Amino acid sequence: MKSISTQYGPLTPQHTSDDLRQREILPVEYYPSGAIKSIPLEKQTIIETPVGTIPSELVSFHENGVINRIFPLNGKLSGYWSQEDEFELAESITIPTPIGRITAKLLSISFHENSAIRSFTLWPGETVSTPTAKGPIATRIGVSFTPEGVISSLEPANPISVQTVAGEITAFDPDAIGVNGDYNSLGFNTNEEVIRVTTTLTKLTAIHPDGRTSIFTPEYRESWCGDTEEEVVPMMVRFLDDSVKVQTNPDLPAVTIPRKGAAFFTEPYLPQLAQPFGQLKCSV
């Protein structure tokens, strides 16, 4: 199989498969312009990236040729090969990041078009300590950064109280999915002020300029565990320059409250006390 030339050296696309991890041959993908978009590799290959040498089984590119995302492993999960099997193959990697050097088992590392690191994604069960203006935060799933190297978002590993323009909110998303660490439930602006937070443990009260009061709490849904069980739905709150947006149902639009003339208050909200007969047995 002929190698493909990239600015990171020649890379050999996958052209064979095996019975366990690689049960099919994945195609090389191209942009409409003809530039390489992604290359599944024949074997794990050491690639010199902006954060050092990374072993890779799959690499994708921006149209300008800069690495978009690099995957150390790319096994296909099936009845023959589990996530646990793949995790056992994963090795800890040390990379420099805007928050310092981190060492962990990484699902992927992504980069902006200027080659600055955009995010890193952790294997399930892996955590790192992320230093922030709010103090160190134990982080799962991943952390993302702006092209200038400022923290953009992270996924808290445990419930943590953060200060917002509406008051203290306990940040935690039990439904967070670790596909990648590009966009996480706790988001910051370039001054590291909270602009997005997901919670199941905070009640938000808004008093409008005309005196009306709106109260927002996380909603409930039928649990996947059984017809009689209910579980809490995470509530997302976003802080814009001129408004606060609250979304208690992911299937419905957010409620927008203008900030000018309004007052906001927060307080702890304990779902198990709000619905004592609907205990949360399947998720946090």
Domain boundaries, the chain: 1-90, 202-274
Q: Which amino acid is at 165?
A: V
Phi, then psi, of 83 in degrees rounded to 5: -60, -35
Report the SS3 class of residue 271.
helix
pLDDT in tens, 2-35: 899 999 999 999 988 876 777 678 899 999 999 9
In this prediction the pTM is 0.88
pLDDT in tens, 104-138: 999 999 999 999 999 999 999 999 999 998 899 99
Please give the pLDDT value at position 278: 40
Nearest to 39 by CA among 21, 18, 62, 12: 12
Compute the distance between CA of residue 192 and CA of residue 137 in angstroms, rounded to an integer: 13
- Give me the half-sphere count of Cα atoms (radius 13 Å) on the Cβ side of residue 74: 25
Compute the distance between CA of residue 100 and CA of residue 205 in angstroms, rounded to an integer: 38
∠ CA 114-120-126, nearest 5°, is: 170
Range 66-97 burial, b when 16+ CB lie within 10 A, else e: bbbbbbbbbbeeeeebeeeebeeebeebebeb
Nearest to 3 by CA among 14, 232, 65: 14
